[in-house]
Chains A and B, each alone.
Chain A
């Protein structure tokens, strides 16, 4: 291949001069920062975390300590292990060939089939029925007396934890119809099945707080598992086990239905929550009515009091003048009596005295003359006229009296009706209280009924499916063997506690660190001079370190190395 020499291209004419756009921007390498957060670098975040290192470390240690205490108070867990082996069926027809699939196109290996059976809910229910729900749910906690012997912080925390667990168990036991389901759930959560791809062995583990129980339940599981495996794989298997389940579900449904019907017969309330809502509405209306009546009574009481005070200002009758009559003047009567007395005394004096012109006689005559003059004066004035009056009913008084009467009557009526309303209200409240107490029972009974109904439907469906699948299963069976009987490792699960402690430590760290980062990111405080230069365009020619020994040394080092 001949090489071609590159010819020199003619020089291009010089580019036209571009006018200068002024000084270079402070961030020529990229977009200038628009806010404080965009000026922050990774090292700033690291530095921020470093500043708060003691808080982070302290809080994480505290979290680890709390989790350690929690883990220490948890009861021990004991694991029982067993191993199974699946051998390939002899002379079994390969389903892939029947279905026309290429090898490797299907995943149905005997081990996987066995695992599907071993981990099924049906098997779990069989095991629970065999060992009994109590065996699984019976608390493996020490007695409260044994707990009381534990001392110190560990003892205190253990007692709290155990009391909580006892309370939970007690609550669970109160719903006896759910016990079996809970036991199945507990069994399935405590059971672990391990296998490796393309390996015929299956390892089974069961965890429990009681070592003896752990082994017993695992043994029962293996026995039932093998039996169920045979049932499932056998083309001649019957559906009697499923039928038992259906019967059990039917029985449970009958019981639930009867319990619910008994409740309805006893209390005559088909829907307690709806009835409760209706009664509460009624109570609210009644409450409002009682409140209105009380307000009305209070208002009437006030009106009555005002009227009573007001009515006193008006006399019941008004007096009118009717006749004018002359009445004897009482002063004239007295004067006449006095004149008589003086005349008698004068007569007595004249009879006694020898001289008719004695001093005493003169005095009496003068007095008599004065009294006579006085009498004449009074008589000259004429008789005294007296007026007689007549009582007329006062209209103001009457109006108020009528109003008062009305108010009093209304008040009496209201006061008479209020106790009846209050009584009605009280009865309503009592009924609501009764229904409120009944509501959880009703809810529980209804949910039990629904659950039983659902369970019955599911099981009926399962029987149908099973019968169908049995008709289809005609390809032979594989073999399942127990190659390692249930063992027991009598030791606490140490790694779990270690995980708790690690989770406590790193959990707190994982929460606090991002929180600090977020707070730092949203902070608007200036950290470095470069931020002012970048955002405000002002030079920061000098910096002063914190005037303490360690800080100055680091400042000098940073300045010498050119760190900002």
Chain B
């Protein structure tokens, strides 16, 4: 299943949604525990992976959906991965209007870029105009935009570009409260995971945990039970 199609799932109607709700519940509980230890609530969470197509978008969408449909909070999913935008493929109207790029460039206000997907509080900010990610602005503009989003929502989930490929993910992670690393099972090397964790720690951002994606239990249950 394509990650963007998760957005259109009917809440609580499919097995996929239920599994994701359970798993994201565990992740959020873990994040809340860590934030309580840290002494301040974490409202801006960056979802990042080591390489492309490892499942950061899937995790970000699943987490945003859990916050809205599971905890009845308002959440904003920010498509900060300007290199490989996917939301526009799902909803063509998201392609036309301003998005995260325009916020960073200062040509659009935060409120203009928010698209409310339903009445329960799930909103998204698409990537915006498709262009080269060169000249990714950082600093005050980004921090202000994220603060404004926090004022408008209970939680902001940033789908960041891969750490190993894009330098802009470093700027983005500086603006979030915590980072969650996504690792694809049987694909990502241990050394790469270790390197990504070091990078996150180097940015002095708390690591909220690792999410294993694309987990496959190939062995049939009867055979697995023997061992």
Contacts and interface: CB of A to CB of B under 8 A. Distances in A.
A542 B189 contact: no
Of A527, A547, A559, the most chain B CB neighbours within 10 A belong to A547
Given A50-B223, A525-B189, A538-B209, A544 B15 contact: no
A528 B215 CA distance: 8
B19 A539 contact: no
Interface string A33-67: 00010000111001100110000000000000000
A401 to B, nearest CB: 75
A535 B212 CA distance: 15
A546 B215 contact: yes
A555 B224 CA distance: 12
Given A50-B219, A526-B190, A553 B58 contact: no
B221 A554 contact: yes
A559 B212 CA distance: 14
A525 B190 CA distance: 6
Nearest to B225: A561
Given A527-B185, A535-B190, A552-B15, A540 B209 contact: yes
A526 B189 contact: yes
Contact of A541 (B29, B183, B189): B29
A532 B192 CA distance: 11
Interface size range of chain A in the complex = 35 or more
Contacts of B214: 544-546
Contact of A557 (B27, B55, B62, B221): B221
Contacts of B191: 524
Contacts of B24: 542
Contacts of B132: none
Contacts of A524: 189-191
B113 interface: no
A540 B19 CA distance: 16
A543 interface: yes
Contact of B15 (A527, A541, A556): A556
Contacts of A561: 221, 225
A47 B1 contact: no
Pick the most buried of A540, A556, A558: most chain B CB atoms within 10 A of its CB. Answer: A540
A529 interface: yes
Contact of B186 (A525, A541, A547): A525
Contacts of B213: 543-544
B210 interface: yes
A529 B190 contact: no
A528 B217 contact: no
Contact of B209 (A42, A541, A553, A557): A541
B90 interface: no
B145 interface: no
Q: Which of B15, B55, B190 has the most CB of A within 10 A?
A: B190
Contact of B219 (A36, A47, A544): A47
A548 interface: yes
A544 B19 CA distance: 8
Contacts of B30: 539, 541-542
B212 A538 contact: no
A551 interface: yes
A563 B225 CA distance: 9
Contacts of A557: 217, 221
A536 interface: yes
B185 A538 contact: no
B217 A540 contact: no
Nearest to B200: A538
B192 to A, nearest CB: 9
Contacts of B181: 538
A542 B30 CA distance: 9
Interface string B1-40: 1000000000000011001101110110110000000000
B187 interface: yes
B146 to A, nearest CB: 24
B46 to A, nearest CB: 16
Given A42-B227, A43-B227, A544 B58 contact: yes
A548 B15 CA distance: 10
B143 interface: no
A526 B183 contact: yes
Contact of B216 (A43, A551, A556): A551
A548 B2 CA distance: 11
B193 interface: yes
Contacts of B188: 525-526
Given A553-B15, A554-B217, A529 B210 contact: yes
A531 interface: yes
Interface in B54-98: 55, 58-59, 62
A545 B216 contact: yes
Contacts of A555: 19, 215, 217
Nearest to B31: A541
A532 to B, nearest CB: 5
Given A46-B227, A557-B221, A536 B197 contact: yes
B207 interface: yes
Contacts of B189: 524-526
B186 A542 contact: no
Given A525-B190, A539-B210, A563-B224, A544 B217 contact: no
B219 A542 contact: no
A531 B212 CA distance: 11
Contacts of A526: 183, 185-186, 188-190, 193, 212
Given A538-B210, A543-B211, A545-B19, A532 B183 contact: yes
Interface of A: 36, 41-43, 46-47, 50-51, 524-529, 531-532, 535-536, 538-548, 551-559, 561, 563
22 contacts: A36-B190, A41-B227, A42-B227, A46-B227, A47-B217, A50-B219, A526-B188, A526-B193, A529-B210, A529-B212, A532-B193, A532-B210, A532-B212, A535-B190, A536-B197, A538-B207, A539-B209, A542-B212, A544-B212, A554-B220, A555-B19, A561-B221
Given A529-B210, A539-B210, 8 more contacts: A524-B190, A524-B191, A532-B183, A541-B26, A542-B209, A551-B216, A552-B15, A561-B225
Q: Give the top 4 A-B pairs by smallest Cβ distance, nearest first.
A: A541-B30, A43-B227, A547-B1, A542-B27
